[in-house]
Chain A
């Protein structure tokens, strides 16, 4: 089947890899320009405080200081969602978390800028603060934002089918509470922004952003400059994972400083500041109830989810909606009830992080399904087999499923992991577990509602038959650039090295919404194919005139132009371009992508989030060993099968699957932001422990290709969907190994040991109560 294509489905090294291995590629902090100042931000030492007065006079008077700004210099509130414009770049009324942004300084050196910060005097009136979302949502007064009663940012209540009837049909019903600690992206590159004030009153902004066009819009709003006066350029990005997918305070602060100083200003966060900018995965409480019949059919799901959103809205409502929309939609579940609360607290804002909104509820659901399977005496794999969707279909909550590789994912992952040989047969202390997950291939509805296509890609062919693709899609390390090259070359039938890219520069590239919700391959990919097809038509039309035939009689492939049915080529690609230029003039093509109306979901409140043109699926098997005396879990291996529709580039698809599994592993066992009264106790990479090589097991990635009818060459997302399955797969394997279920993330050795001791106590008590009936039950 792959023989049909020259490049699609074949591994292609990333187009920017050489610039990365030579150290020549430039990330934002690597860029310096003449006259550049160093910017630094003053952060609030209080979790919740009124700002009575800010005196910047002494800082401004320090030699070497070129600008000092406060909220008064840029008072307009902004936020990634139209419903959540609740942050000022620098707060002028209230500080809402330790680390909130109060003032900023630009100076001729970092030392001077840091000294200047210490000279800024701020009078705070400290207010009672809220740190626990379950308490915060009961608050009668003193709210974090006056416009958000009870500190509830948003709540949603969805009910599809009838869960009461569903539970009544079930023979096994479980109710459990789950907890997931807060985790963060920890991209290796700390955020950085360089804002250059140009002599013609324009501003050029280089920034570590996944969303250059949202940044463009926000800078225009907050700096009160027309968009045409601002140029946003995305250089190389050192990882995003969602942490750069909304407007981060330093991006606006650098621009405001540059505008005031009339000079270039660069701000690069310290690692600690990255933790305060955060926007990661929130603390999540999940109260879950699931019903299962004796035959293993899921009859109903009810979930109450409380997310600790931090002090600002950010993507919060989207996160809590994703949690509901994707909770049950992976399986065929007729009755689903969801109550989701996004709560404000006096901590850094949470937001989108890889697997946005789906991860913590998936952990809860898949862990509970494992427990129910155990209750019913059914193999956990069989339970999943018995609840598959019959795709194509529309789920009970209105999601349109066009392709569904989950069945094959389950079969292949369990087969590769040796499930049948191992499940229930490993020695005590060793165990195997499985779980599934899914994710969107882009959101069918844009953040700012409009009918503008989500992506436009332009292609230009030059006199030397070189091809330039202009795309706004943000390469952040995931391979977006390479995908554009591959698709363009495939459609035009040329060598990939003919294709050059101009990427994510708002002066040059047409709009793309950015790298979030795993939308780039599906959306920019389809737009790129459309542009390339359009280019191909133009070329063939020109050549047809030259040859005096119909364009439909012509074919371009392998750098040659053929008349269909002839075995010898009529001309090479260079000649074809020369001919086309003669008849067409400059060759410029355009392609767009707009999700179809049928993919955009239902009409209820909150129905806009969750719908996607297509969904990816993953099934994973984890094998662990547990030291019963220390509680320490060692993950021995993970087999991950992921349905990405079609692997356009297996090299990068595997990299995305393995990277997702890795991030899931970190959340499962060792990553957690630790809070003490709103104070982050571990704002460093030493104490926020992302896994090193030594805790990371062998990860086997298996690509499943369900060939989506609307995806670019059938492709769907590959970058996020695998994360969520890893965590419950590990949790379920721990149960298999030692018979304890840990419903709280991360699953630290302490929690495992405590559970083992608790279990031992219970078993001893049971043994004394019913003497003669020792043993049995769980291992």
Chain B
């Protein structure tokens, strides 16, 4: 049955900005981001929380926005793919995915970037197995994952060398 539920004003902190959206309580975070806040970077690839395309960071933790009720996430810091770098710049992780072929069709890429960022924030020098495990909720149909691993390795190297540079200078 279709019944129009009362909409409420949701206050969400997304990519460092206070945002408001008028949405019913059963609306998912993914849909609020995409439809109400025009943040279409996060994608819907499945309907049963099994592909990872919708991943966003919630207080730094990679989270599936497709199974999150938006109203439940009003007290959290949400970061979407649009918010992981300052406008006009790329982080080392994004550069890695660009340069090492980690993105082909790109539809899974936002979810992979979120999962990768969370991994490297927690563990800057992951082993290959750590990387495989951390990315195992994210499905990619294009790459066979090899160039994704290469992208992560490149991001790690870049980060290390830029830290070294910072220390030297």
Closest Cβ of chain B to A359, distance in Å, is: 16
Instruction: Choose among B94, B101, B105, B136 the residue that contacts A694 (Cβ–Cβ < 8 A).
Output: B136
Contacts of B4 in A (CB 8 A): 111
Asked whether, in the complex, the Cβ of B105 is within 8 Å of the Cβ of A684, the reply is no
**Is A18 among interface residues, defined by CB-CB distance under 8 A?**
yes
14 contacts between A and B (CB under 8 A): A17-B106, A21-B106, A24-B82, A26-B40, A27-B43, A112-B2, A188-B43, A188-B108, A189-B107, A236-B105, A652-B104, A659-B141, A690-B139, A696-B145
**Is A241 among interface residues, defined by CB-CB distance under 8 A?**
yes
Asked whether, in the complex, the Cβ of B101 is within 8 Å of the Cβ of A23, the reply is no
Enumerate chain B interface residues (CB-CB to A < 8 A).
1-2, 4, 34-35, 38-51, 53, 80-82, 85, 90, 94, 97-101, 103-110, 113, 132-133, 135-147
Asked whether, in the complex, the Cβ of A690 is within 8 Å of the Cβ of B141, the reply is yes
Instruction: Choose among A21, A272, A477, A660 the residue that contacts B113 (Cβ–Cβ < 8 A).
Output: A21
**Is A270 among interface residues, defined by CB-CB distance under 8 A?**
yes
Closest Cβ of chain A to B102, distance in Å, is: 8
**Is A201 among interface residues, defined by CB-CB distance under 8 A?**
no
Given A658-B143, A662-B145, A685-B50: A22 in contact with B41 (beta carbons within 8 A): yes
Asked whether, in the complex, the Cβ of A238 is within 8 Å of the Cβ of B107, the reply is yes
Asked whether, in the complex, the Cβ of B47 is within 8 Å of the Cβ of A115, the reply is no
Asked whether, in the complex, the Cβ of A30 is within 8 Å of the Cβ of B40, the reply is yes
Instruction: Choose among B47, B53, B100 the residue that contacts A272 (Cβ–Cβ < 8 A).
Output: B47
Decide if the interface of chain B is mainly helix, strand, loop or mixed. loop
Instruction: Choose among A18, A114, A241, A686 the residue that contacts B98 (Cβ–Cβ < 8 A).
Output: A18
Asked whether, in the complex, the Cβ of B81 is within 8 Å of the Cβ of A22, the reply is yes
Which chain A residue has the least Cβ–Cβ distance from B95? Answer: A21
Contacts of A477 in B (CB 8 A): 104-107, 142
Asked whether, in the complex, the Cβ of A188 is within 8 Å of the Cβ of B98, the reply is no
Residue from B2, B34, B105, B145 with most neighbouring chain A CB atoms (10 Å): B105
Asked whether, in the complex, the Cβ of B48 is within 8 Å of the Cβ of A685, the reply is yes
Instruction: Choose among B47, B82, B103 the residue that contacts A17 (Cβ–Cβ < 8 A).
Output: B103
Which chain A residue has the least Cβ–Cβ distance from B87? Answer: A22
User: Which 7 pairs of residues, A with B, have the shortest CB-CB distance?
Assistant: A23-B41, A477-B105, A238-B107, A115-B2, A20-B106, A662-B144, A658-B144
Given A111-B2, A693-B132, A693-B136: A189 in contact with B43 (beta carbons within 8 A): yes
Closest Cβ of chain A to B44, distance in Å, is: 7
Chain A residues 445-494 with CB under 8 Å of chain B are 476-479
Give the distance in Å from the alpha carbon of A478 to the alpha carbon of B142 in the complex.
9
Instruction: Choose among A188, A240, A684 the residue that contacts B53 (Cβ–Cβ < 8 A).
Output: A188
Contacts of A655 in B (CB 8 A): 101, 104, 142-143, 147
Give the distance in Å from the alpha carbon of A14 to the alpha carbon of B137 in the complex.
25
Instruction: Choose among A26, A686, A699 the residue that contacts B48 (Cβ–Cβ < 8 A).
Output: A686
Contacts of A586 in B (CB 8 A): none
**Is A427 among interface residues, defined by CB-CB distance under 8 A?**
no
Residue from B2, B35, B42, B85 with most neighbouring chain A CB atoms (10 Å): B2
Chain A residues 266-312 with CB under 8 Å of chain B are 270-272
Give the A interface residue count (CB, 8 A). Answer: 62
Contacts of A654 in B (CB 8 A): 101, 146-147
Give the distance in Å from the alpha carbon of A384 to the alpha carbon of B98 in the complex.
39
Asked whether, in the complex, the Cβ of B2 is within 8 Å of the Cβ of A23, the reply is no
Contacts of A32 in B (CB 8 A): 35, 38
**Is A774 among interface residues, defined by CB-CB distance under 8 A?**
no
Instruction: Choose among B40, B45, B113 the residue that contacts A271 (Cβ–Cβ < 8 A).
Output: B45
Asked whether, in the complex, the Cβ of A659 is within 8 Å of the Cβ of B47, the reply is no
Chain A residues 658-708 with CB under 8 Å of chain B are 658-663, 665, 684-686, 690, 692-694, 696, 698-699, 701
**Is A161 among interface residues, defined by CB-CB distance under 8 A?**
no
Contacts of B42 in A (CB 8 A): 23
Which chain A residue has the least Cβ–Cβ distance from B83? Answer: A23
Closest Cβ of chain B to A295, distance in Å, is: 37
Given A26-B40, A111-B4: A694 in contact with B132 (beta carbons within 8 A): yes
Give the distance in Å from the alpha carbon of A14 to the alpha carbon of B104 in the complex.
8
Contacts of B50 in A (CB 8 A): 684-686
Instruction: Choose among A27, A663, A686 the residue that contacts B46 (Cβ–Cβ < 8 A).
Output: A686
Asked whether, in the complex, the Cβ of B40 is within 8 Å of the Cβ of A17, the reply is no
Closest Cβ of chain B to A66, distance in Å, is: 15
Instruction: Choose among B39, B48, B49, B107 the residue that contacts A239 (Cβ–Cβ < 8 A).
Output: B107
Given A13-B101, A112-B2, A188-B139: A271 in contact with B46 (beta carbons within 8 A): yes
Asked whether, in the complex, the Cβ of B41 is within 8 Å of the Cβ of A24, the reply is yes
Given A658-B147, A694-B133: A22 in contact with B142 (beta carbons within 8 A): no
Give the distance in Å from the alpha carbon of A23 to the alpha carbon of B53 in the complex.
12
Give the distance in Å from the alpha carbon of A25 to the alpha carbon of B49 in the complex.
23
Asked whether, in the complex, the Cβ of B106 is within 8 Å of the Cβ of A696, the reply is no
Asked whether, in the complex, the Cβ of A684 is within 8 Å of the Cβ of B147, the reply is no
Give the distance in Å from the alpha carbon of A239 to the alpha carbon of B106 in the complex.
8
Asked whether, in the complex, the Cβ of A21 is within 8 Å of the Cβ of B98, the reply is yes
Contacts of B145 in A (CB 8 A): 658, 662, 693, 696
Which chain B residue has the least Cβ–Cβ distance from A237? Answer: B105
Closest Cβ of chain B to A64, distance in Å, is: 9
**Is A639 among interface residues, defined by CB-CB distance under 8 A?**
no
Asked whether, in the complex, the Cβ of A476 is within 8 Å of the Cβ of B105, the reply is yes
Closest Cβ of chain A to B38, distance in Å, is: 8
Closest Cβ of chain A to B63, distance in Å, is: 16
Asked whether, in the complex, the Cβ of A684 is within 8 Å of the Cβ of B101, the reply is no
Closest Cβ of chain A to B140, distance in Å, is: 7
**Is A16 among interface residues, defined by CB-CB distance under 8 A?**
yes
Asked whether, in the complex, the Cβ of A659 is within 8 Å of the Cβ of B43, the reply is no
Contacts of A698 in B (CB 8 A): 146
Closest Cβ of chain B to A105, distance in Å, is: 12
Asked whether, in the complex, the Cβ of B142 is within 8 Å of the Cβ of A659, the reply is yes
Mark A599-624 against chain B: 1 for CB-CB distance below 8 A, else 0.
00000000000000000000000000
Which chain B residue has the least Cβ–Cβ distance from A26? Answer: B40
Instruction: Choose among B45, B99, B103 the residue that contacts A190 (Cβ–Cβ < 8 A).
Output: B45
Closest Cβ of chain B to A39, distance in Å, is: 15
Asked whether, in the complex, the Cβ of B109 is within 8 Å of the Cβ of A21, the reply is yes
Instruction: Choose among B47, B110, B139, B146 the residue that contacts A23 (Cβ–Cβ < 8 A).
Output: B110
Given A186-B141, A188-B141, A696-B144: A21 in contact with B94 (beta carbons within 8 A): yes
Give the distance in Å from the alpha carbon of A22 to the alpha carbon of B146 in the complex.
21
Chain A residues 404-426 with CB under 8 Å of chain B are none
**Is A173 among interface residues, defined by CB-CB distance under 8 A?**
no
Closest Cβ of chain B to A721, distance in Å, is: 15
Given A22-B82, A24-B82, A241-B141: A684 in contact with B48 (beta carbons within 8 A): yes
**Is A588 among interface residues, defined by CB-CB distance under 8 A?**
no
Residue from A21, A115, A237, A272 with most neighbouring chain B CB atoms (10 Å): A21
Instruction: Choose among B136, B139, B143 the residue that contacts A685 (Cβ–Cβ < 8 A).
Output: B139
Given A189-B107, A477-B106: A661 in contact with B144 (beta carbons within 8 A): yes
Closest Cβ of chain A to B47, distance in Å, is: 5
Contacts of B82 in A (CB 8 A): 22-24
Which chain A residue has the least Cβ–Cβ distance from B98? Answer: A17
Closest Cβ of chain B to A187, distance in Å, is: 6
Give the distance in Å from the alpha carbon of A422 to the alpha carbon of B36 in the complex.
58
7 A-B pairs besides A23-B39, A23-B81, A661-B144 with CB distance below 8 A are: A188-B139, A189-B107, A477-B142, A684-B47, A692-B136, A693-B136, A693-B145
**Is A54 among interface residues, defined by CB-CB distance under 8 A?**
no
Asked whether, in the complex, the Cβ of A17 is within 8 Å of the Cβ of B43, the reply is no
**Is A50 among interface residues, defined by CB-CB distance under 8 A?**
no
Residue from A20, A24, A661, A662 with most neighbouring chain B CB atoms (10 Å): A20
Asked whether, in the complex, the Cβ of A189 is within 8 Å of the Cβ of B136, the reply is no
Give the distance in Å from the alpha carbon of A663 to the alpha carbon of B45 in the complex.
18
Contacts of B138 in A (CB 8 A): 693
**Is A651 among interface residues, defined by CB-CB distance under 8 A?**
yes
Contacts of A658 in B (CB 8 A): 143-147
Give the distance in Å from the alpha carbon of A188 to the alpha carbon of B106 in the complex.
9
Contacts of B47 in A (CB 8 A): 270-272, 684
Give the distance in Å from the alpha carbon of A185 to the alpha carbon of B105 in the complex.
13
Contacts of B98 in A (CB 8 A): 13-14, 17-18, 21
Asked whether, in the complex, the Cβ of B107 is within 8 Å of the Cβ of A27, the reply is yes
